Chain A
Amino acid sequence: MEIKILNLTKAYGDFKAVDDMNLSVEDGELIGLLGPSGCGKSTTLFMLAGLTEPTSGQIFFGDKDVTKVPPEDREIGLVFQNYALYPHMTVLDNITFPLINRKVKKAEAIERAQEMAHLVQLDGLLNRKPSALSGGQQQRVAIARALVKKPQVLLLDEPLSNLDAKLRVETREEIKRIQQEVKITTLFVTHDQEEAMSISNRIAVMNRGVVQQYDAPQAMYLNPINAFVAQFLGMPQINMFQAQVTGRGIELDGVLLRTREQLESAGKKIADGTYQMGVRPESLELCEDGFIVKADNVRMTGRDLLIFFKIGTTEFRALTHSDLQLREGDNLCLRARKNSLIIFDADGSALVKC
């Protein structure tokens, strides 16, 4: 089912939780709504569900305007952050509940619930109460309950936030698998950028009720549209700093990060002056002919070595492979890889990459 969101706004008094949002989702896509808490992502989800009434704007499912359609008639499956399983019913009763309410015959309801339980790998747990299940299993019940009525759209509110780290990775793969098997258009809300990037076809990054960027994960990571998106995606965070564009190129406290030719080869004319810039830690690489810095701090994270250093008074982080032999206080020679330095203008929009 295609979804179109047109000029959607939700205001609480003067506060706009969602501000003039426009978004379109293609049939069968898995979309991540990503942003910090309070950015309006859950509000958006609940407006799609019909549980929150928009102040203005429209929502289309396919060709149908569903803005005024009550939740039970929208053909949606909704998974709540805390799962909202009916605690006094067994797993089976929880899953058949939406069907019984829609007057499906009991035998058929049970059969469909069993199919669904099989899909989410809950076989054998159907007679348990939710309280006798682990968090991950409860999550699966919630998904099964949402999907059993064969909805056109699946909506998940922070589906992984109540799970521990290891289970979170497993469950997000599980969500992707189920989504692909059922081929259902899915939107999920998360504040975890890694989660969003790893399973979404496209991500909508939101901040203060406004969609900042809507793109495929890789494209967004490599070409953030503004400083907010650049900083929100990526762990460890992108290095942000103020540097000068001069006749020589890009300079920071005497270090020449880019020559004039390199800057101009990016294709866009940048006037001289001070700019905010960003470079990702993994884009800083060891080399023979870069700038020399002193490692203030070295952290071993397993796969990577995270090196803290300073240029002038600006702090930076660089990621290198963990086999590098380096101690605190050692000098090392670094450069920023080609096409990895993003220059932002005064209001934070990305100007150019070089």
Chain B
Amino acid sequence: MNRKSYKGYVYLAPVLAIMLVFTAYPLVRAIFMSFCEDYSIINGSYKGINLENYADLFKDKDFRKAITNTITYVIFVVPLSVVISLLIANLLNSHIRFQGLFQTLYFLPYVTSVIAIGVVWRWILHSQYGLLNSILNFFGFESIGWLTDRNYSMASLIIFAVWKSLAFDIMIFLAALQGISPDLYSAARVDATPRWRVFFRITVPAMRPIIAYAFVMGIINSFKVYNEVFSLFNGSAGPSGYNSAITIVFYIYDKFYNNYKYGIAAAGSVVLFLLIMFFTAIQRLPGRIRARKEAAQK
């Protein structure tokens, strides 16, 4: 460290200290905890350092269920939300009446508490008085126990979550759409371009970076899903008595606060961390390959 950089580090010190205490230390501590057998959060004692927590974790069928549920959730919620948002954002961006009103309406879920939204959806999905079942009945279908039948727990959760995440995606897509030069669309008109081709050849390519961003953020947030489960099933992970909609974070929370299994909860967080890292890396691959190809072309 030379003299000049020394001064720089002094300026950085306050922020670095805060980050060390509140970000780096808890992270290291959580990873450490995950290897401690029977860790006690009160006096920090533990029986030994081994892989016992991880072994327990993978033996637990609730955890395996949590992993498959979470991955199912991600696979459905993220693409559905992105595709639907893209379509709605395009509609909102065209010159329609009450454009401002619609934009506000679609943004409302984002600024509303998940718990409040959960209350509304618990009513919509109610097996006897719910709006969704009334619609199904109207068209001659049987009622479904959206929130009471454990086979439908995940479906209900996904419908709810897609609807909820639309708001954010629509907002960033609208911002991106407004950044596309209107001249491109005028040029496309003069060139007699059909609407679907305008969408796929001009709009979507122009929005590729923001769509990628929506995917990354969607995947990261969806892996951490907890609030949605909590609010939809009134504090449990599915219809009472079942863990049919349990997710990884829900599992971690449950182990930590309800069962006091701190080590297992910590091990669960590490697994979640690795999962998110893995999926984020995978989905960034196409972009990198493209970038490399383009660099090679030039």
Q: Do A and B bind each other?
A: yes
Q: B187 to A84, Cβ gap below 8 A?
A: yes
CB distance from B94 to the nearest CB of A (A): 16
Inter-chain contacts of B192 with A (CB < 8 A)? 72-73, 98, 101-102
Chain B, residues 195-208, CB within 8 Å of chain A (1/0): the string is: 00100011001101
Q: A72 to B189, Cβ gap below 8 A?
A: yes
Binding stretch for chain A, among B101-109, B135-143, B178-186, B261-269: B178-186
Interface majority SS (helix, strand, loop, mixed), chain B: helix
Whether, in the assembled complex, A34 has its beta carbon less than 8 Å from a beta carbon of chain B, the answer is no
Whether, in the assembled complex, B194 has its beta carbon less than 8 Å from a beta carbon of chain A, the answer is yes
Inter-chain contacts of A88 with B (CB < 8 A)? 201-202, 205-206, 208
Alpha-carbon distance A150/B194, docked complex (angstroms): 20
Whether, in the assembled complex, B50 has its beta carbon less than 8 Å from a beta carbon of chain A, the answer is no
Q: Choose from B181, B191, B205, B294 the contact partner of A97 (Cβ within 8 Å).
A: B191
Q: A101 to B183, Cβ gap below 8 A?
A: no
Chain A, residues 288-328, CB within 8 Å of chain B (1/0): the string is: 00000000000000000000000000000000000000000
Alpha-carbon distance A193/B183, docked complex (angstroms): 25
Chain B, residues 157-185, CB within 8 Å of chain A (1/0): the string is: 00000000000000000000000010110
**How many of chain A's residues touch chain B, expressed as a range?**
20 to 34
Whether, in the assembled complex, B4 has its beta carbon less than 8 Å from a beta carbon of chain A, the answer is no
Given contacts A84-B181, A84-B183, A86-B184, are A76 and B298 in contact (CB under 8 A)? no
Inter-chain contacts of A98 with B (CB < 8 A)? 190-192
Q: B187 to A78, Cβ gap below 8 A?
A: yes
**How many of chain B's residues touch chain A, expressed as a range?**
20 to 34
Q: B206 to A87, Cβ gap below 8 A?
A: yes
Inter-chain contacts of B206 with A (CB < 8 A)? 87-88
Q: B191 to A80, Cβ gap below 8 A?
A: no
Whether, in the assembled complex, A49 has its beta carbon less than 8 Å from a beta carbon of chain B, the answer is yes
Q: Choose from A97, A145, A149 the contact partner of B193 (Cβ within 8 Å).
A: A97
Q: B183 to A86, Cβ gap below 8 A?
A: no
Inter-chain contacts of B181 with A (CB < 8 A)? 82, 84
Alpha-carbon distance A50/B186, docked complex (angstroms): 10
Inter-chain contacts of B189 with A (CB < 8 A)? 51, 70-72
Whether, in the assembled complex, A182 has its beta carbon less than 8 Å from a beta carbon of chain B, the answer is no
Inter-chain contacts of B194 with A (CB < 8 A)? 101
In the complex, besides A84-B181, A84-B183, A101-B193, 6 extra interface pairs with C-beta distance below 8 angstroms are A72-B191, A72-B192, A87-B206, A88-B202, A98-B190, A132-B297
A contact set with B: CB distance below 8 Å: 49-51, 70-73, 76-78, 80-82, 84, 86-89, 97-98, 101-102, 129, 132, 145, 149
B contact set with A: CB distance below 8 Å: 181, 183-184, 186-187, 189-194, 197, 201-202, 205-206, 208, 294, 297-298
